[in-house]
Amino acid sequence: MPKGERGSSKPYLRGDIWWIKYYVPGEEKPRYESSGSPNKHDAVRLLNTRRKEIDDRKISSSNATVNDLLKLYLDDQKRQKRHSYKSADGFARLHLKPAFGPIKAAALQTKRITAFIEQKQQAEYANASINRWLEALRRAYALGLEASPPLVYTAPDIESLMLEEDNVREGFLEHDRYAILRGELPDHQRLVLVIGYHLGMRRGEILKLRWDQVDWSENLIRLERRQTKGKKARIAPLYGELRAWLDMAHTAREPECPFIVSWQGHGISEVKTAWRKACERANIPELLVHDLRRTAARNMLRAGIPEKQIMLIAGWKTRSMFDRYHIVDERDIHEAGKKLARHLEQKAQQLAAQAEAKVVTKEVTEAQINGKLQ
**296-308 residue pLDDT tens:** 988 888 888 888 8
Q: Considering the chain, what is the average pLDDT of its residues?
A: 84
Give the model's confidence band at 204: pLDDT under 50 very low, under 70 low, under 90 confident, else very high. confident
What is the DSSP track for 42-76? HHHHHHHHHHHHHHTT-S-S---BHHHHHHHHHHH
Please check the confidence at residue 112 and state whether its pLDDT lies above 80. yes
Please check the confidence at residue 1 and state whether its pLDDT lies above 60. no
Q: What share of the chain is helix, strand, coil (3-state, %, to 5)?
A: 60, 10, 35
| Mean pLDDT for the stretch of residues 81-97 | 85
Q: Which helix (H) or strand (E) holds 304?
A: none
What is the DSSP track for 68-133? HHHHHHHHHHHHTT-TTHHHHHHIIIIIIHHHHTTSBGGG--HHHHHHHHHHHHHTT--HHHHHHH
Fold of 175-323: hpI Integrase; Chain A (1.10.443)
pTM strictly above 0.85: no
Read off the DSSP letter of residue 17.
E
CA 263 and chain centroid, separation: 30
- pLDDT, residue 357, reads 79
Contact yes or no for 64/104 (Cβ under 8 A): yes
Give the model's confidence band at 267: pLDDT under 50 very low, under 70 low, under 90 confident, else very high. low
Please check the confidence at residue 83 and state whether its pLDDT lies above 60. no
Please check the confidence at residue 165 and state whether its pLDDT lies above 60. yes
Please check the confidence at residue 64 and state whether its pLDDT lies above 80. yes
Please check the confidence at residue 4 and state whether its pLDDT lies above 50. no
CA 302 and chain centroid, separation: 26
Q: How far apart are CA 11 and CA 94, in angstroms?
A: 47
- pLDDT, residue 89, reads 92
Q: What is the pLDDT of residues 332-374, one digit of tens each?
A: 666 777 788 888 888 888 888 888 877 767 776 766 666 655 5
- 330 vs 284, higher pLDDT: 284
Q: What is the pLDDT of residues 137-157, one digit of tens each?
A: 999 999 998 887 778 877 899
According to DSSP, the residues that pair with 273 across neighbouring strands are: none
- 62 vs 195, higher pLDDT: 195
- pLDDT, residue 212, reads 94
Return the closest-CA partner of residue 105 out of 93, 116, 113.
Answer: 113
Q: How far apart are CA 100 and CA 120, in angstroms?
A: 14
Helices (H) and strands (E) in the chain, counts: 15, 7
Please check the confidence at residue 266 and state whether its pLDDT lies above 60. no
Specify the length of the chain in residues: 374
